[in-house]
Amino acid sequence: MTTARPTRHRYRPPAPLGGRRRATESPLRRGATAFAFLAPALIILGAFTVWPMLSALRLSFTDASGFGEPEFVGLENYIGVFTDPDILNAVTNTALYTVLFTPLAVVSALGLALLLNNPRLPFRGFFRTALFVPFVVSFSVAAFAWSYLVDPQVGLLNYWLRGFGIQIGNVLEDPTLAMPMVVLVAVWKLFGFYFVIFLAGLQDIPPSIYEAARMDGAGAFSRLRNVTLPLLSNTMAFVLIFAMIAALQAFDQIYVMTGGGPYGSTQTLVMEIYESGFRKLDIGFASALSYVLLAATLVLSLVQFVFFGRKEKDLA
């Protein structure tokens, strides 16, 4: 692979007439055309995402509760966020959830995609389809099904595991096992999505590169490490960031399965936002908490972009 090929100057055809930048078109006119295309989406995103987000920023400095006129309270809510032991617990839980979910989901999706990319495997199409099916099931339905499967009295999974001598007891009431359980449900529901994205990325790697590596005497492991994984790094960055965002925003299955319990052991940040905003009606506090979560998400995403050395041209 390292032998230098003589560099040749490729013949470049002259730029076609009427190229993409028309000299006659002013930047202003181009801007107006672009704006016409962008307007509907920008109006929707602006009105229903950005504007509520800015309202939330304003509310985060008030004692808004849904009743009466909110009063300005300065940084009180933010100080509350950083000193409240419940929030510290939610931060720890969210971190634990993210650390468990992201590698589990990404590694299982990547592993299955690598194995199912092998054209010699019989029933490949069937396996691919079947593994994606959980993705179309809603988190709440997934939560019902899994809760029933691990029910301490009549749960089929509990019963089968007992047959192997494994006692899992009442998983959803167990402070150490409840968190792995809600993570497992998320991995089950979401890995199919990452799996198809990896499959798509794998199909983009030209077979000739593998051929060349094989001729150089590279074994299967070496091909994986030196060819497949580096060429998948863009896909990997995309999947990791989406998986991380999904983990930081974990809510649905926890809401249905444990409600944050037992003893707050599955209480995540978004559960906390939901409870302070909708149960305790402490809207100012919920908004401050949202901003802290948003800041953390932005920072972690940036770290990943830098870590994976994603080229600027891929982003913008």
Partner 1 sequence: MSTARRSLRDLKPSTVLATLAFAVVTAIVLLPIAIIVLTAFKPAAEVNAYPPSLLPDDWTLANLKTVTSELPFARLVGNSFVFAGGVTLFALVFDSLAAYALARLDFTGRKVLLVAIIATLMIPFQATLIPLYQLVADLGWVNTYTGLIAPRAADAFGIFFLRQFFLALPRDIDQAARIDGAGEFRIFRSVVLPNAVPALLTLGLFTFVNNWNDLLWPLVFTTDAEMGTITSGLTQLTGPSGIVPHGVMMAGSLIAILPLVIAFLFIQRRFIENIATTGLK
Residues 105-164 that bind partner 1 (CB under 8 A): 112, 115-116, 118-142, 144-146, 148-149, 151, 153-157, 159
CB of 8 to partner 1, least distance (A): 23
CB of 18 to partner 1, least distance (A): 5
Closer of 120 and 311 to partner 1 (Cβ): 120
Please pick, from the candidates 14, 18, 85, 230, the single residue that binds partner 1 as defined by CB under 8 A: 18
Number of other residues whose CB lies within 10 A of the CB of residue 145: 13
CB of 30 to partner 1, least distance (A): 5
Please pick, from the candidates 78, 97, 188, 285, the single residue that binds partner 1 as defined by CB under 8 A: 188
CB of 13 to partner 1, least distance (A): 11
Backbone angles phi, psi at 162, to 5 degrees: -60, -35
- Where in 273-302 is the site for partner 1 (CB under 8 A)? 273-274, 277-278, 283, 286-287, 290-291, 293-294, 297-298, 301
Q: Does 47 bind partner 1 (CB under 8 A)?
A: yes
Do residues 256 and 144 lie in contact, with contact meaning Cβ atoms separated by under 8 Å?
yes
Measured CA to CA in angstroms, residue 68 lies from 12, 62, 63, 73, 279 at distances of 70, 12, 10, 15, 17
- Where in 86-105 is the site for partner 1 (CB under 8 A)? none
Point out which span in 73-81, 170-178, 215-223, 272-280 binds partner 1 (CB under 8 A).
Answer: 272-280
Annotate 38-86 with DSSP letters as a single string: HHHHHHHHIIIIIHHHHHHHHHTTB---SSS---B-TTHHHHHHHH-HH
Backbone angles phi, psi at 17, to 5 degrees: -65, 145
Beta bridge partners of 72: 62
